[in-house]
Amino acid sequence: MAMRRRTLLKVIVLGDSGVGKTSLMNQYVHKKFSQQYKATIGADFVTKELQIDDRLVTLQVWDTAGQERFQSLGVAFYRGADCCVLVYDVNVLKSFDTLDNWHEEFLKQASPADPKKFPFILLGNKIDIDGGNSRVVSEKKAKDWCVAKGNIPYFETSAKEDINVDAAFLCVAKTALANEREHDIYFQTIPEAVTETEQGGGGCAC
Ligand code: GDP
Ligand code: MG
């Protein structure tokens, strides 16, 4: 009989202000989109329950305000994160160029046990704008960046048109879960979890 255990996964969404972090989360959790721009203040989270294989998972997704610098959010905010979602706007070069900083700063603040293996996911958002004619960052350029950072999964999304949003967050959940399972094995806290992980397929199927 498969073990039933609810797992809480902490996910942090980072990226420049205005790239669509809050909109992506709203689309994913509430199936809603608003043109209105409302700056996120401080940090807030939404949760979504989902089932992955035989596991009940609560995805706790933390939203941040892009203009906030890391220090002001505090180290406790990043500690215990299971996955970090980086977002940029395919129509704004600067939002792509700052990805390096977000990536680096996250690792500095969260200081995961194995920084090289910590799971990130990159989302190139707003692909709907002007039918793609105003985009300045090519898919290839984004994918090259992902390869350079250790094969980060990449999704092109539109929070407005609900393109790839579910797929991206499912990948987030699976990746976070796989990471969390590794912790379980490492610390040997829950022996049953080892049996479960041996079923394999921990990686993201996206
Ligand atoms: P945040 O600062 O990263 O949280 O960005 P927001 O989610 O607040 O979005 C900033 C602005 O971009 C808002 O006016 C949104 O309506 C708009 N926006 C977000 N995602 C998309 C998208 O996929 N397509 C389009 N056309 N607009 C978007
Ligand atoms: Mg926001």
Checking if the pLDDT of 200 tops 50, the result is: no
Which amino acid type is present at position 188? Q
Q: Are 11 and 83 in contact (CB under 8 A)?
A: yes
**What ranges make up the beta strands (E) of the chain?**
6-14, 43-52, 55-64, 83-89, 120-125, 154-156
Measured CA to CA, the distance from residue 98 to residue 25 in angstroms comes to 21
Provide the pLDDT for residue 171: 96
pLDDT-derived band at 75, boundaries 50, 70, 90:
confident
pLDDT-derived band at 188, boundaries 50, 70, 90:
very low
* Distance set, CA 117 to CA 66, 74, 112, 170 (Å): 24, 23, 9, 19
Checking if the pLDDT of 71 tops 90, the result is: no
Nearest ligand to the C-alpha atom of residue 14: 1
Domain spans in the chain, listed from the N-terminal domain onward? 6-33+41-189
Measured CA to CA, the distance from residue 60 to residue 57 in angstroms comes to 9
Q: Domain 6-33+41-189 belongs to what topology?
A: Rossmann fold (3.40.50)
Measured CA to CA, the distance from residue 187 to residue 79 in angstroms comes to 17
| Dihedral over Cα of 177, 204, 16, 164: its sign | negative
Any ligand 1 atom below 6 A from CB of 18:
yes
Any ligand 1 atom below 6 A from CB of 21:
yes
Provide the pLDDT for residue 44: 76
Mean pLDDT throughout 60-70?
71
Would strands 154-156 and 120-125 be described as parallel, antiparallel, or unpaired?
parallel
Tokens of 25: 């989360």
Mean pLDDT, rounded, of the chain: 84
- pTM for this model (two decimals): 0.86
**Relative to the CA of 33, which ligand 1 atom is closest?**
16
Mean pLDDT throughout 81-104?
96
Distance 110 CA to ligand 2 centre (A): 21
Provide the pLDDT for residue 123: 98
Q: Are 21 and 40 in contact (CB under 8 A)?
A: yes
Any ligand 1 atom below 6 A from CB of 43:
no
Q: How confident is the model over 162-171, as pLDDT tens digits?
A: 999 999 999 9
Any ligand 1 atom below 6 A from CB of 58:
no
| Dihedral over Cα of 154, 156, 160, 165: its sign | negative
Nearest ligand to the C-alpha atom of residue 25: 1
